[in-house]
């Protein structure tokens, strides 16, 4: 039985995450709260990245919409996330779309960065980057996009083993050791 990918492009040309993020961004723009909403979403994403229990709540179909909504309300209240960001997260929970919230946050960040004239870059590394490495990487990325400001969101994924993955818009550069080893493994199988 095939299931529909919630992030896939639909007939209207937009993903679920993109539609939700666009609606939130439009509302935040009207109310002049783009930065506040982004800060709230960033806090929620940091909590999501740091808590396996929250991750299970977000992705598990075992929790009802009411249970997810109550849990999200308690979490955002405790974290001090208010206003549009809190209302948005609770709406997403009520609509049974919490499992797409990380992609919604990425889409919102991208819209917000574009409105500021920035280019959003997601950087995934095997180990935390030092300040000098971050600065050098930002310089390289800035040069690649014609001098525009870069808003870099860095995270660590130890499964990469080494190297890094950079995503900017529809472009992705994967120089991770994991990908290189997988490619080598595939080529070795072809030799047989």
| 53-87 pLDDT, tens digit each | 999 999 999 999 999 999 999 999 999 999 999 99
At 14 the pLDDT is 58
Residue 107 has pLDDT above 80, yes or no: yes
The dihedral over CA atoms of 47, 50, 55, 56, expressed in degrees to the nearest 10, equals -120
- Return the domain boundaries, the chain: 16-111, 118-191
pLDDT band at 2 (very low <50, low <70, confident <90, very high): very low
pLDDT of res. 123: 92
Burial of 171 (C-beta count, 10 Å sphere; 0-12/13-18/19+): exposed
Please state, in angstroms and rounded to a whole number, the distance separating the CA atoms of residues 19 and 23. Answer: 6
Q: Provide mean pLDDT across the span 84-93.
A: 96
Six-digit token pair at 184? Answer: 């080598």
Q: What is the pLDDT of residues 114-141, one digit of tens each?
A: 898 888 888 999 899 999 999 999 999 9
Taking the domain 16-111, which CATH number applies? Answer: 1.10.520.20
Higher pLDDT, 5 or 95: 95
Consecutive H or E run containing 152: strand 149-156
């Amino acid at each position: 039985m095939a299931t529909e990918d919630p992030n896939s492009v639909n007939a209207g040309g937009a993903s679920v995450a993109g539609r939700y993020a666009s609606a939130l961004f439009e509302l935040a723009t009207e109310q002049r709260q783009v930065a506040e909403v982004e800060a709230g979403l960033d806090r929620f994403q940091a909590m999501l990245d740091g808590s396996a229990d929250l991750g299970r709540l977000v992705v598990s179909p075992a929790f009802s919409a009411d249970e997810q909504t109550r849990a999200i309300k308690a979490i955002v209240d405790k974290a001090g996330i208010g206003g549009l960001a809190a209302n948005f997260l609770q709406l997403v929970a009520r609509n049974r779309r919490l499992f797409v919230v990380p992609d919604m946050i990425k889409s919102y960040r991208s819209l917000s960065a574009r409105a500021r004239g920035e280019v959003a870059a997601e950087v995934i590394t095997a180990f935390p980057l030092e300040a000098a490495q971050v600065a050098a990487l930002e310089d390289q990325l800035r040069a690649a996009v014609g001098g525009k400001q870069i808003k870099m969101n860095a995270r660590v994924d130890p499964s990469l083993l080494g190297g890094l993955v950079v995503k900017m818009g529809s472009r992705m550069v994967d120089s991770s050791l994991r990908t290189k080893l997988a490619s080598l493994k595939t080529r070795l199988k072809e030799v047989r």
